[in-house]
């Protein structure tokens, strides 16, 4: 009976370990949620035309198109009724007559204040709540970006990224990877391609449990996680967009296709080993001040409620943006849940530019 007190903690940590060890096709998927409320409102369809500091995440080639000498930004979102926190901060610095740019991005996706009940029960069978401590399960990503403009139409860039996972004092991993990206602008058209984890990203996992904690795992018939190596395979994004201005009206549309290489996924077009996940977004701007956005992504095939046939589901997204001089404030309202299980999320982000870039 006393071991039932540990059930919630054991289930949480065991699922965490199994997901890391047996589901490599979703390795480091927190790095693909997306950043910036503007991008999320557009269904994450931004890689062809992104031209602010978030390019360090989406497509580093776009960093050279930032209209400021320095740009700073942040984002905050919460998922699962506020249980999971998702945060992003970044900075970018064009230089050398606007032909080069550097950027840094930091991402954290975490669940905090999880109770550790492994020592809740004393050796004599009594319950001691003073032994319950809190810990966090967090995923961290750091992107160091560089971009170069080869002409007014073409630019390219890359990322060196560091991945860190941590579950209290019990488990942690470190990983390293490389990304490449390119953009090409032609009249009102914009094209982009990005290659994520081009050499595959390797995460080395290590676990550390006391003998007493291992005993709890054994008595509850749970597997004690072992040190392991996790691999994130390459991912490709191809994108095309169209941008047009009419007096005080702006129209920005874009279509992206994510191509994963880790086996068949539940996407619109899934094969083995490639899966294709299209998403698109539309933005209308007024007087370069107010923006209205909408997009769809996560197009999937799922069984209906009675399990008789497969139906298509999509993730709808809407949002608005406000630009005041060099400050951009954006909001997105998304629903990543099923139609029968809405899980609405509010995303807020801001960007501020410091000093206009000098013209060449």
> Could you tell me the pLDDT band of residue 232, with boundaries at 50, 70 and 90?
confident
pLDDT, tens only, 268-312 = 887 888 899 999 999 999 999 999 999 999 888 776 666 666 777
Domains of the chain from N-terminus onward? 2-356 (2.40.160.60)
Q: What mean pLDDT do residues 184-212 have?
A: 87
Structure tokens at 240: 């095309």
Query: Is the pTM higher than 0.85?
Result: no
83 Rama class: left (phi>0) / alpha (psi -120 to 50) / beta: alpha
Structure tokens at 292: 């209205």
Higher pLDDT, 285 or 230: 285
The pLDDT, as a whole number, for residue 269 is 83
> Could you tell me the pLDDT band of residue 1, with boundaries at 50, 70 and 90?
very low
> Could you tell me the pLDDT band of residue 171, with boundaries at 50, 70 and 90?
confident
> Could you tell me the pLDDT band of residue 8, with boundaries at 50, 70 and 90?
very low
> Could you tell me the pLDDT band of residue 122, with boundaries at 50, 70 and 90?
low
> In 228-266, which positions are buried (b, 16+ CB within 10 angstroms) versus exposed (e)?
eebebbbbbbbbbbebeeeeeebebbbbbbbbbebeebe
Residue 55 has pLDDT above 70, yes or no: yes
């Amino acid at each position: 009976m006393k071991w039932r007190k540990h059930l919630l903690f054991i289930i949480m940590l065991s699922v965490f370990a199994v997901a890391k060890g047996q589901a490599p096709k979703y390795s480091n998927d927190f790095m693909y949620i997306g950043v910036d409320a503007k991008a999320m409102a557009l269904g994450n369809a931004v890689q062809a035309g992104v031209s602010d500091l978030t390019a360090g995440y989406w497509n580093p080639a776009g960093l050279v198109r930032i209209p400021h000498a320095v740009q700073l930004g942040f984002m905050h979102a919460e998922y699962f009724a506020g249980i999971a926190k998702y945060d992003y901060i970044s900075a970018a610095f064009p230089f050398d007559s606007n032909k080069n740019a550097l950027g840094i991005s930091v991402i954290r996706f975490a669940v905090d204040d999880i109770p550790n009940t492994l020592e809740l029960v004393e050796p004599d069978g009594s319950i001691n709540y003073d032994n319950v401590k809190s810990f966090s399960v967090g995923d961290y990503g750091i992107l160091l970006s560089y971009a170069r403009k080869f002409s007014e139409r073409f630019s390219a860039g890359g990322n060196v990224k560091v991945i860190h996972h941590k579950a209290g004092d019990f488990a942690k991993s470190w990983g390293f990877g490389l990304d490449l990206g390119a953009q090409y602008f032609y009249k009102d058209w914009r094209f982009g391609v990005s290659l994520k984890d081009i050499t595959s990203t390797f995460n080395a996992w290590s676990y550390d449990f006391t003998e007493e904690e291992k005993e709890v795992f054994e008595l509850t018939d749970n597997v004690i996680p072992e040190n392991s190596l996790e691999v994130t395979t390459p991912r490709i994004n191809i994108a095309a967009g169209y941008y047009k201005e009419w007096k005080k009206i702006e129209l920005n549309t874009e279509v992206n296709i994510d191509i994963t290489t880790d086996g068949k996924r539940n996407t619109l077009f899934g094969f083995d080993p490639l899966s294709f996940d299209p998403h698109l977004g539309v933005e209308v701007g007024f007087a370069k001040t107010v923006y209205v956005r909408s997009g769809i992504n996560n197009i999937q095939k799922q069984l209906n409620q009675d399990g008789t046939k497969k139906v298509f589901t999509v993730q709808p997204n809407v949002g608005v943006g406000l630009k005041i001089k060099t400050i951009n404030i954006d909001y997105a309202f998304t629903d990543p849940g099923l139609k029968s299980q809405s899980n609405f999320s509010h995303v807020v982000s801001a960007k501020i530019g410091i000093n206009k870039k000098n013209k060449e």
